[in-house]
Amino acid sequence: MKWLHFLFNERCPKCKQVLNTSKSNALRSTVVKVCPSNHYQKEFHPALETYVESDEVL
Ligand SMILES: [Zn+2]
């Protein structure tokens, strides 16, 4: 599972804090990680092996 590294060692590009796993949407099978200071959000879709990155925390 090559995407497993996503679950670990992800850091905000601005402040380098480790991202929190703020929410997981089981229905959509996504994992969302967010900077503790709300600089950055990264959503991962394991089924699609696709990342969605954002500078805004929704
Ligand atoms: Zn940050």
Q: What is the pLDDT of residues 9-37, one digit of tens each?
A: 788 999 999 999 866 666 767 888 899 99
How far apart, in whole angstroms, are the C-alpha atoms of residue 41 and residue 1? 22
- Sheet of 50-54, strands arranged across: 20-25, 30-34, 41-45, 50-54
pLDDT at 37: 94
Number of domains in the chain: 1
Whole-number Å distance, alpha carbon 55 to ligand 1 midpoint, is 9
Residue pLDDT, tens place only, 39-49 = 999 888 878 88
C-alpha distance across the termini of the chain, in Å = 28
Range of the domain at 24: 2-54
Query: pTM surpassing 0.95?
Result: no
Whole-number Å distance, alpha carbon 23 to ligand 1 midpoint, is 17
Whole-number Å distance, alpha carbon 29 to ligand 1 midpoint, is 24
pLDDT at 36: 92
pLDDT at 8: 60
